[in-house]
């Protein structure tokens, strides 16, 4: 089958290839891919940024999001059957959605939201799971709390805004002039145009900040938190909990802590907290999220759609910063809508 694989780590390390059909394990669901989408994580994995923690053996198929149709199931699978429409974010070390088919552990799979097309559903799994795990599992967000979401028009930001608003929070976000109307339509109560204002000068007393920018933006984010508030970074720096989550040796935890020492020290000085976040595959959470999409509480935001044979061009489009809002989708049948 055709797939896009990482042959070697680095910007030029991915290519189209013919690879064997996936092997189906007893607990696996074999999915014919209808659509996938591009995530910053794809670039990070391709470049080997996590190679000490996620030990992929080259060549391996890239891709973290999928929507498609079940073609076969393993002998221990009873919750899905051939013909079912599903979506998923396959677990780490079993990614590979930039392909015609993929075998996924049944625990990572959920029924595709009926109200979404395959392309829309493919834009959802990674960012929706991240939003849920950040707001519900990690921050335990409560109605009335204040959340600042950076890059609110992005794939993750646009999802977090909607879920935080659904959970009853007051939501502020940073974006540019072109996407201010969009983020307001998603539920942002306060919009800071970063081309005109410094968010740290106009916001204060926040319970949670989600930072997807890093660097100086993260350090400034600490200053808008109220005492005891939490800043969560999704682009780093990583911490020891990240290494533990991936089952890495203890010495790598020490390395991760060293990388985040500066920001954690600054947070402690300000009386706030910093944590790195890396999402996990979870089919049961995707079922809950699917209900929110079907009820209209959440909606995917799609920037553009590429055909499957232009998957590498789709990645380049994202890397070059050409995305205006939401996710870039790759479709096996781009003329279906």
Task: Convert the pLDDT of each residue in 29-42 to its tens digit.
Answer: 999 999 999 999 99
pLDDT reported for residue 53: 87
The lowest-confidence range among 91-95, 211-215, 248-252, 279-283 is: 248-252
Mean pLDDT for 272-288 is: 97
pLDDT reported for residue 112: 98
Burial of 10 (0-12, 13-18, 19+ CB in 10 A): exposed
Measured CA to CA, the distance from residue 218 to residue 277 in angstroms comes to 13
pLDDT reported for residue 335: 53
Task: Convert the pLDDT of each residue in 131-164 to its tens digit.
Answer: 999 999 999 999 999 999 999 999 999 999 999 9
Task: Convert the pLDDT of each residue in 207-248 to its tens digit.
Answer: 999 999 999 999 999 999 999 999 999 998 999 898 888 888
Domains and CATH numbers, the chain: 2-124+300-331 (3.90.180.10), 126-276 (3.40.50.720)
pLDDT reported for residue 247: 86
Is 135 within 8 Å of 109 (Cβ atoms)?
no
Mean pLDDT for 69-82 is: 98
Is 103 within 8 Å of 25 (Cβ atoms)?
yes
Strands (E), 59-186: 60-61, 66-73, 85-88, 101-105, 109-111, 146-149, 170-175
Task: Convert the pLDDT of each residue in 115-139 to its tens digit.
Answer: 999 999 999 999 999 999 999 999 9
Q: Assess whether the previous peptide bond of 325 is cis (omega < 30° from 0).
A: no
Residue 337 has pLDDT above 80, yes or no: no
| Residue whose pair of structure tokens reads 């989600």 in the numeric block | 210
pLDDT reported for residue 249: 85
């Amino acid at each position: 089958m055709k797939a896009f694989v990482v042959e070697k780590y680095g910007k030029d390390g991915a290519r189209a290839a013919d690879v064997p059909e996936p092997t189906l394990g007893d607990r696996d669901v074999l999915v014919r891919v209808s659509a996938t989408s591009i995530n910053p994580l794809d670039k990070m994995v391709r470049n080997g940024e996590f190679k000490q923690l996620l030990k992929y053996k080259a060549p391996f198929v890239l891709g973290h999001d999928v929507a498609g149709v079940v073609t076969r199931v393993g002998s221990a699978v009873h919750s899905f059957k051939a013909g079912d429409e599903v979506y998923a974010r396959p677990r780490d070390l079993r990614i590979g959605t930039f392909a015609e088919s993929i075998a996924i552990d049944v625990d990572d799979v959920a029924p595709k939201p009926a109200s979404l097309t395959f392309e829309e559903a493919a834009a959802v799994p990674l960012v929706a799971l991240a939003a849920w795990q950040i707001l519900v599992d990690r921050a335990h967000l409560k109605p009335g709390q204040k959340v600042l979401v950076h890059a609110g028009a992005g794939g993750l930001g646009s999802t977090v805004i909607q879920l935080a608003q659904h959970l009853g929070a007051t939501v502020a976000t940073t974006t540019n002039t072109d996407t201010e109307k969009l983020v307001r339509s998603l539920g942002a109560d306060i919009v800071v145009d970063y081309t005109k204002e410094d968010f740290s000068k106009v916001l204060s007393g926040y319970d949670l900040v989600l930072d997807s920018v890093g660097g100086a933006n993260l350090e400034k984010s600490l200053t808008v938190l109220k005492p005891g508030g939490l800043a969560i970074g999704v682009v780093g720096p990583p911490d020891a909990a990240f290494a533990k989550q991936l089952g890495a040796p203890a010495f790598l935890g020490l390395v991760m802590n060293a990388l985040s020492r500066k920001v954690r020290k600054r947070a402690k000085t300000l009386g706030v907290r910093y944590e790195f976040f890396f999402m996990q595959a979870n089919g049961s959470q995707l079922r809950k999220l699917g209900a929110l999409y079907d009820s209209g509480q959440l909606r995917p935001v799609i920037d553009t759609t590429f055909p499957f044979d232009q998957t590498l061009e789709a990645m380049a489009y994202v890397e070059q910063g050409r995305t205006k809002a939401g996710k870039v989708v790759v479709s096996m049948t781009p003329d279906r809508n």
